[in-house]
Chains A and B, each alone.
Chain A
Amino acid sequence: MIVEDDHLVSEMIRGMVEELGYEIAGEAEDGHDALGIIKEVKPDVVLLDIKMPRMSGIEAAILIQKHFPTPIVILSAYETEDLVKEASEAGVGAYVVKPPQPAELFRAIEIACCRFEDMVELGDIRMKYEQAMKTIGSLAKLLPVCPGCGEEKRDEDYSSKLNMFLSSIPVEEISRYLCIRCGKRNDSG
């Protein structure tokens, strides 16, 4: 998808992108319009200008990553360090100075897509990690020995807490918690 307020520049991007074998999913003239169109067309990658009326490319990038995570390539005639830093912090995958070489634009698109995939993967890992930490916390509470005095826990609701935890384990994960005999039985069953 192309987000560019200068018609002739968007013609350049369109021509170049099509030459590289991509399809144009949609076009927008500023960041504000872009958000509406992205929701609709769900592009694989967004080529975003920075200086645009109503909403700048950086603002749009932040909102796109928040609401419709998508690989983003910035295409701008400006190349100050500050802008590059801002773009990076906004979750932009690559930054290309206009007018780009087609190969340069291709690399930027590919890198942005890879970086986005990495980011998604990282997000998944982080989610799993957080879930695992949560589970460890729950299990620690269910240990039958008091970590303070080493005495066996005998409080009344201990067995009900244990049952509650076991019942909360998803079916697909239940095998992790079975004993060897039950595990074998489960495998054969």
Chain B
Amino acid sequence: MKHIVDSAPQFEGIDSAGIYLLDSSCGDFVLECHAGLPEWLIDSFSRLTPGSGMHEILYCEENVYPDSSEECSFRFEGSPNVFIKGLFPLIPGETFSSVMFIASSEPEALPLEIRGIMEMLLSMVKASISRIDVENNASLREKEHSLLLETVRDPIFALGDNLEMKYCNGAFRQLVCFEEGANAAAGFPDIAGLELNNLLREKFDEVLDSDNGLRSLTFEYRERIFYTIISRTPDGLFALMNDITEAEQARKKLNFRDRFENVLISISTDFIKMRGSALNLGINDALLNIGVSIEVDRAYLFQFSDELKIMNNTHEWCATNVQPQIDNHQGLRTDDYPWWMNRLNRHWVFQIPRISDLPSWAEAERKLFESREIQSLLVVPIVHGNNLIGFLGFDSVNQEKYWSEDIIDLLRVIGDAIGNALVRNGMEKKLIKMYRRAEKEAQINAVLLKEVNHRVKNNLSEIIGILYAQMRFASNNNDHDDFVQSLISRIRGLATVHDMLSSSGWNPLELTSLARRIIDSAIAYAPNSKKLKASISKTSIRVNPNQAHALALILNELVRNSLKHALTDRDSLKIKVRMRKRRAGRITLVYSDNGPGYPEEVLEFGRKNLGLDLIQNLTIKNLQGELTLQNDGGASAKIVFRRTLTEDGKNESK
């Protein structure tokens, strides 16, 4: 017992320990052995008599761990004070005959890990008492000894100096499958078997050679995990194998959950601020963490495109010595994997513990998995809203594997988080793209607005110009109706070309369309009784807005001229417009009608009216071109000008 008490202060959180035994003759508690206690306590409390206060504490069932004393903490008052952190009955059923206590100078409650240690120490004490009893009290019945040993649930054994088995409890016998009644005094390897002997032998030697005579180790044996304390006794070794399998599994589960929670937190928080390559790195990191946590060989992310017709492996993590497959998994057609897609389309999480168990209609999938040496796999769909956008996959290459519901639930949450991140990232990309497009459009619109402003002002200036010009020419013509009609026709011509140019965004206009529109618009106001036919040659020639503007006004005047002079004595008129490209960017436009032709004085530019004045000046000034009037089966006007596609530059008209 002294040895066990001595070993207690070696553990962190325990300063001192002692064992009180009840002296049945007088009812006092006697401090049987102790370690680390101050002198004053040993002197003052070596014997606790009933009514002394401390005696009652030890004698109170409520204070004894583990029944209800989890928070117990009592004080030996002196200098320094000693705080009892735990009271432990040594023998169940004899609760108040022997109590071991541990203490420290700090008054904290008993820490969890110390309790575990104490339970083991206690088991050792129990076994020690049992042994002492066996040795010292030959009259103790065999049955009682057995009962005492059986109270310890963990395997216990004691060895002699030559490692021969001196005794062991039922838990140990059951563990090593040792038949009761067999040669109990055989050597440890004979009883425990070679496997356990190999696990412990080295520690036995260490304990025998060490100063403090105490060693501990954790090992796995027969699918159980044992935390084993080996202690030196006066005549050999004593060992307690504490079965910590459940605790270890719980710890592993806790670690697993911790790791998963970290991945989840990372995905839910870090992913929010991640963009582009940072998000890719984040997903790769998450796949690594998940892959390691659930002990798979490959973890990957697929994303669908082209309305679920194509799937691409976008991210992948592989364990060491496992072949990456990301390059082989690009542009896969989903139609080729019907079984797979059938499940994903239903948003099912599914696992394939054994590839060979796949149904016959999953032949394509089976072949693919076998070619990748996959033994088991788990698939988690990534769904956003009600749309399938991808899936997470986890391959086990080295062994067949089955994943528990716990893991699947967590992976489902992670899948959702990754899905949100992917969708958000996609939306942000789209938004940025839209924003840039809007910005560009706004810039273009700002330029267009300026251009519109300029054009409107210019058109207004031209209308005023037409009015001044008509006034100038009106002195020879006092017909008010004609004045107004001319004005309307000219302003309409301006409006038509303005409309065409604004529709095209002030880009170059196709000459054929321009001519067609102007002529159609001009002849629409001819009397219904007259038959008019316009033929316009087709051409791909385009002219810049200023030239289009001038040509529109010229054509408007030419048609007005035809309607006014050629149609007077006729019921029908044919108008022809021919356009042709010439060398050095020059364009020829010939307008003709089949009317009586120009009078001679007009051909010599001797007589002028406003229409002709406009045709001539617009050709010369605005187009910087040449005008030729002639009679060729009717009136014919030939305009030659040089085409400039840009408005800017030295060859630009405005």
A residues sitting closer than 8 Å to B (CB atoms) are 5-16, 29, 49, 51-55, 77-78, 80, 97-99
Contacts and interface: CB of A to CB of B under 8 A. Distances in A.
A118 to B, nearest CB: 30
Contacts of A11: 465-466, 468-469, 472
Nearest to B464: A12
Given A15-B472, A52-B654, 15 more contacts: A8-B469, A8-B553, A8-B618, A9-B458, A11-B465, A11-B469, A12-B462, A15-B471, A16-B468, A49-B654, A51-B652, A53-B650, A53-B651, A77-B461, A99-B464
Contacts of B653: 5, 53
Nearest to A77: B457
Nearest to A56: B650
Which 8 A-B residue pairings sit nearest by Cβ, starting from the closest? A15-B468, A12-B465, A11-B465, A8-B465, A8-B462, A7-B617, A77-B457, A99-B461
A6 B614 CA distance: 11
B392 to A, nearest CB: 58
Contact of A53 (B454, B471, B614, B652): B652
Determine the main DSSP class of B at the interface with A: helix
17 contacts: A6-B462, A7-B465, A8-B466, A8-B553, A9-B465, A10-B465, A11-B472, A12-B468, A14-B468, A15-B464, A15-B472, A49-B654, A51-B652, A53-B652, A54-B650, A77-B453, A97-B457
Contacts of A8: 461-462, 465-466, 469, 553, 614, 618
Interface residues of B, number: 30
Contacts of A13: 465
B252 interface: no
Nearest to A28: B621
A15 B469 contact: yes
A15 B461 CA distance: 11
Nearest to B456: A77
Interface string B54-97: 00000000000000000000000000000000000000000000
Contact of A6 (B460, B467, B468, B654): B654
B468 A7 contact: no
Contacts of B620: 7, 29
B624 interface: yes
A52 to B, nearest CB: 7
B622 A7 contact: yes
Interface in B495-522: none
B654 A7 contact: no
Contacts of B450: 78, 80
Contacts of B468: 11-12, 14-16
B454 A5 contact: no
Contacts of B624: 29, 53
A162 B467 CA distance: 72
Interface in B629-654: 650-654
Interface string B195-237: 0000000000000000000000000000000000000000000
A116 B467 CA distance: 32
A6 B454 contact: no
A49 to B, nearest CB: 7
Contact of A7 (B472, B614, B651): B614
Contacts of B458: 6, 9, 77, 98
Contacts of A55: 650
A7, A55, A98, A99 — most chain B CB neighbours (10 Å) = A7
Contacts of B464: 12, 15-16, 99
Contacts of A6: 458, 461-462, 465, 621-622, 654
A78 B451 CA distance: 9
B469 A5 contact: no
A52 B469 CA distance: 22
A55 B617 CA distance: 19
Contacts of B553: 8
Contacts of A5: 621-622, 653-654
Contacts of B453: 77
A12 B461 contact: yes
B457 A99 contact: yes
A32 B614 CA distance: 23
B515 to A, nearest CB: 20
A154 to B, nearest CB: 68
B618 A98 contact: no
A9 B650 contact: no
Nearest to B467: A15
Contacts of A54: 650-651
B583 to A, nearest CB: 20
A16 to B, nearest CB: 7
A6 to B, nearest CB: 6
A26 to B, nearest CB: 14
A13 B464 CA distance: 9
A53 B453 CA distance: 21
Nearest to A50: B654
B198 to A, nearest CB: 93
B490 to A, nearest CB: 9
A10 B617 CA distance: 10
A154 B450 CA distance: 76
B99 to A, nearest CB: 98
A78 B456 CA distance: 11
A98 B622 contact: no
Contacts of A80: 450
Nearest to B460: A99
